[in-house]
Amino acid sequence: MIKIPSQVNRALKILYDNGYSAYVVGGAVRDAFMGRSADDWDITTSALPQEILKAFNGFRVIETGIKHGTVTAIVEGMSIEITTYRVDGGYSDNRHPDSVRFTGRIEEDLMRRDFTMNAVAVSPGGETVDPFGGRDDIEKRLIRCVGEPEKRFKEDALRILRALRFSSVLNFKIEENTAESIHKCRELLKNVSCERIFAELCKLLCGQAAERILTDFSDVIFAVLPELEPMKNCGQKNPYHIYDVWIHTVRSVAAVAPERELRLAMLFHDSGKPKTKFTDENGIDHFYDHAKVSREIAEKSLARMKTSNKLRETVSGLVEYHDFCPHKISKKTYRRYIALLGADTVRSLFEIRRADSAAHAPFVYEQTLKENITGLKILEEIEKEDSCFSIKDLKINGKDLEKSGIEPSPLMGEVLERLLDEVMDDKTENEKEALLKRASELAKGAGNGNS
Ligand code: ATP
Ligand code: MG
C-alpha cells in the first residue's frame, strides 16, 4: 500500500463523489513503490476536461493543456495534474500525437504511457491496475517500454532520452529489447526540440549512474552532441593519462559534484583534444591550447541547445580554465580570474580540477589535492581582503572624477579601466586620494610610461 498525500486523496474523492473513476499514476506512484517521496502527483480520471473543471468549481484551477485533457487543480496549496483517460492518435513528427481521443477505460490510458514503471495506477482504496507488470519491473529495477519499443520510440523520440535519464537517476537497468531499440532509433532525436533534449540531458548527467549511461549509450549522446564524438578512441599517450579522451571524460563527469554546470563542464572540458592532438618524435601525445578549442566547442553546442547566456558563460569559463595551476599563480592573476569569471566560478575550478585529476593516472590525484590546498589558501586571503574586481569596487566613481576636472567622456571610462588594472596589479592603492592623484596623471597622459 502506498502513502498518498491528503490533498491528493481529497482530489480523488471529489472525482468519485461526482461519479467518475480516478487513480493516481506516473512518477509519484513509481517513486512511492520505491519508498521515495514525490512532489508531483498526477491523477488520471474518466471525467472529461469540462467535467473536471466543474467538479473542482471553487478551487483554483489552471487549464494547463485542456485540449489534451489536462487540468491543474490547486488543493490546499498542492498543484495536482488531473488528466482524462486518453488514447493518443498517430504520430507523424516523432514527438507529438496527431490527435488524442478520450476514453472511459483506465487500461487504454495506461497503454499510451512510456515505461511499465510509469504505467501503474492506484485507486484511493489501494487497488492497483498494472497490466504491464510495472510493479515487478520496479522491484527488478528495470526500464521496459510499454508495448513494442521501436514503435514507441518512433512515436515519440524524446522517450529515448527519458529512458536514459530514468536509468541514470534511479540507477535502473534498461531491458534488452528496449536498449536495442534505443540504439537503433537514436537518430530520431533530431526531430525533438533542443530545449527538451537539453533538460533531459542535464538530469541524465547529474544522475547516480551517469558513468554507465555515457559508456553504454555514447552513440545516443553523440546523436544529440555530435561535437563530442571525435573524443571516442582518441588516444592520449603520455605519462599523465591511462584512458583515451572519451573514457577519461566519462570518468571525470562521474567524479565531479552532481551539479548541472559542473557536469556539463566536465563533459566538454577535453572536447578540443582531438583537434589539437600532436604526437612528438618520441611518440608522446600533446594537446597544446586544447582548452580554448574545448571552450569554442562548448559555446557552440550550448548555443545550439538554446541555453541561457548565464549557463553558457559559466560552463565555457570552467572549460577554458580547467587546466589552471592554482598553486603557481599570483594574487594578481587570481584577481583577474575573479574579475573575468566571478568568485563562484573560480571556486568551482578547484572542484573541476579535482574531478579531472581523479580520471588521470593515479599519481596525479594526490598531487592535485595538494596544489588545490595551496591555491585555495591564496584565494581565501584575497576573499578576506577588501578586494577590488570591477570598476564599481573602486573607491572613486565618475562623480569624483568630474569634480577633479575629468568630464564624462570616453577618456573617463579609459581612466577608470586603467585604475582598476593598476589596483588589481597592486600598482595603485584602492584609496580615494591615491586614486584621484593617479587619475589626473593618467588623464594628462603622464601615467603611460609607468606601467
Ligand atoms: P518525473 O516527474 O520524476 O520526471 P514522471 O514519470 O512523473 O517522472 P512526467 O514527465 O511527470 O514524468 O510524466 C508523468 C507521466 O506521464 C509518466 O510517468 C508517464 O506515465 C507519462 N509520460 C510522460 N511523458 C511521456 C512520454 N513522452 N510518452 C509517454 N508517456 C509519457
Ligand atoms: Mg512527474
pLDDT at 447 over 80: no
Q: In what order do the strands lie in the sheet with 41-45?
A: 60-65, 70-75, 78-84, 41-45, 22-25, 121-122, 128-129
Strand locations in 237-385 (E): 278-279, 285-286
254 lines ligand 1 (CB under 6 A): no
Looking at the CA of residue 31, tell me the nearest atom of ligand 1: 3
DSSP per residue, 162-218:
HHHHHHHHHTPEEPHHHHHHHHHHGGGGGGS-HHHHHHHHHHHHHSTTHHHHHHHTH
CA distance 254 to 358: 10
Q: 373 CA distance to ligand 2 centroid (A)?
A: 42
207 lines ligand 1 (CB under 6 A): no
Q: Model confidence at 240, in pLDDT bands (50, 70, 90)?
A: confident
Looking at the CA of residue 159, tell me the nearest atom of ligand 1: 27
Grid cell for residue 94: 516523432
Q: What is the pLDDT of residues 136-190, one digit of tens each?
A: 999 999 999 999 999 999 999 999 999 999 999 999 999 999 999 999 999 999 9
Q: Model confidence at 28, in pLDDT bands (50, 70, 90)?
A: very high
Q: What is the pLDDT of residues 58-92, one digit of tens each?
A: 999 999 888 889 999 999 999 999 999 999 988 88
Contact 116, 134 (CB under 8 A): yes
Which of these, 122, 123, 119, lies nearest to 133 by C-alpha position? 119
Contact 260, 200 (CB under 8 A): no
Q: Whose CA is nearest to atom 18 of ligand 1?
A: 26
109 lines ligand 1 (CB under 6 A): no
As a whole-number percent, the residues of the chain with pLDDT over 70 amount to: 99
120 lines ligand 1 (CB under 6 A): no
Q: Model confidence at 448, in pLDDT bands (50, 70, 90)?
A: low
Q: How far is C-alpha 6 from the geometric centre of its chain's CA atoms?
A: 33
Task: Write b or e for each residue in 381-420: b if 16 or more Cβ atoms lie within 10 A of its Cβ, otherwise e.
Answer: ebeeeebbbebeebbbeeeebeeeebeeeeebeebbebbb
Contacts of 432 (CB under 8 A, 6+ apart): 395, 396, 400
Looking at the CA of residue 165, tell me the nearest atom of ligand 1: 4
pLDDT at 422 over 80: yes
Q: Whose CA is nearest to atom 8 of ligand 1?
A: 27
Strand 41-45 and strand 78-84: pairing?
Answer: parallel
414 lines ligand 1 (CB under 6 A): no
Phi and psi at 134, nearest 5°, equal -65, -40
- Mean pLDDT over the full length of the chain: 94
pLDDT at 451 over 70: no
Q: 149 CA distance to ligand 2 centroid (A)?
A: 21
Q: Does pTM top 0.85 for this prediction?
A: yes
Q: What is the pLDDT of residues 363-419, one digit of tens each?
A: 999 999 999 999 999 999 998 887 889 999 999 999 999 988 888 889 999 999 999
Looking at the CA of residue 158, tell me the nearest atom of ligand 1: 27
Grid cell for residue 47: 471525467
Place of cell 541547445: 305
CA distance 169 to 431: 52
Neighbours of ion ligand 2 (CB under 5 A): 27, 40
CA distance 109 to 115: 13
* Ligand minimally distant from the alpha carbon of residue 27: 1
